[in-house]
Structure 1
Amino acid sequence: SFDVGQTLQTIEVARGLKHPIGVLTGSDAFIFEAMLMGCHGALIGFAGTATRELVAMHHAVHVGELAAARAIWDQLGPIARYCWRLPIRDFRPRMKEVLRLQGLFPSAACREPQLGIEADERRAIAQLCRAQGLIAHDRT
């Protein structure tokens, strides 16, 4: 929901059920925080780019190693927040650019009607990914 209040309300409702259910966050911009609030996992687009790290973060939260989990999110969070900033519809081309920089996609081109992102935004994403250690070398 990308809404902290709604996430908390959903968790509370799920906990109060006769047969409690797990709650997954879909909020890419606050994955770590959602897990601390009580989400059992995540169903997110960001997992396509840092899967191993996100699984490690989830495990660390689950076993109470919060400093380790926080360190992972400190690395990944700035990228997730940048990619899922307004306008939210542009998360797709932003994430495709991250995946291209990682060598996972040959191109960040988008199909219509989705527009791509401008060169200045591609440069900002590359700089952020380098600074946060998500890419080892530049593919710009």
Structure 2
Amino acid sequence: FDAKRFIDTVRILKKSKDRRIFIFTGNDNFIYESLILGADGGLLGFGTIAVDKQTEMFRLFGEKRYEEAEEMWEELLPLVEIIFSPPVRNYKTRIKEALVMMGVLETAYVRPPLRPLSNEERRRIKKILKKLDMI
């Protein structure tokens, strides 16, 4: 993620007189910061979990209640860090495991080359989901 390029792009797009372009971040572990830098929203894999908390964060930000929005983001950050920890390619499997733990999916099956998570990774995800009162 190049913050300077993002800011430059936001400036150019927001200066448009006929602004019909919305600026979305795709950087799941930089959501709040992207809003601060001018994003209007996001297209995020992380958006499938902690939906209510993320929606609340976006609402608070939209109401210019930045400190409260940041507090919500800080609360979610440990889960974001687990989901997108190395190897990052396993984030889909981690999201699926979280959704199984939350009762949303029945299985976290992934096709090769993705691999199932270790018991330790499952334990870490479960621990933070409990801490966030999501399970």
Same fold (TM over 0.5): yes
Q: Which amino acid aligns with 1:17?
A: S
Structure 2 unmatched runs, 5+: none
Q: Which moved more, 1:75-84 or 1:126-135?
A: 126-135
Q: Secondary structure of the residue that 2:81 maps to in structure 1?
A: helix
**Residue of structure 1 in register with 2:9 after alignment:** 10
Alpha-carbon distance between aligned partners in 1 of 2:31 and 2:77, rounded to the nearest angstrom: 8
Q: Which amino acid aligns with 1:112?
A: P
Q: Secondary structure of the residue that 2:134 maps to in structure 1?
A: coil
Q: Secondary structure of the residue that 2:18 maps to in structure 1?
A: coil
**Residue of structure 2 in register with 1:138 after alignment:** none
Structure 1 unmatched runs, 5+: 136-140
**Residue of structure 2 in register with 1:124 after alignment:** 124
Residues 17-96 of structure 1: pairs in structure 2 closer than 5 A: 17-20=16-19, 21-96=21-96
Please state how far the C-alpha of 1:55 moved relative to its aligned partner.
1.5
Please state how far the C-alpha of 1:111 moved relative to its aligned partner.
1.4
Alpha-carbon distance between aligned partners in 2 of 1:104 and 1:66, rounded to the nearest angstrom: 31
Please state how far the C-alpha of 1:132 moved relative to its aligned partner.
2.9
Shift in CA distance, 116/9, structure 1 to aligned 2, threshold 3 Å: farther
Shift in CA distance, 81/9, structure 1 to aligned 2, threshold 3 Å: farther
> Runs (4+) of structure 1 moved beyond 4 Å?
none
Shift in CA distance, 79/4, structure 1 to aligned 2, threshold 3 Å: farther
**Residue of structure 2 in register with 1:133 after alignment:** 133
Please state how far the C-alpha of 1:56 moved relative to its aligned partner.
1.5
Alpha-carbon distance between aligned partners in 1 of 2:9 and 2:96, rounded to the nearest angstrom: 30
Alpha-carbon distance between aligned partners in 1 of 2:3 and 2:126, rounded to the nearest angstrom: 29
Q: Count residues in correspondence.
A: 134
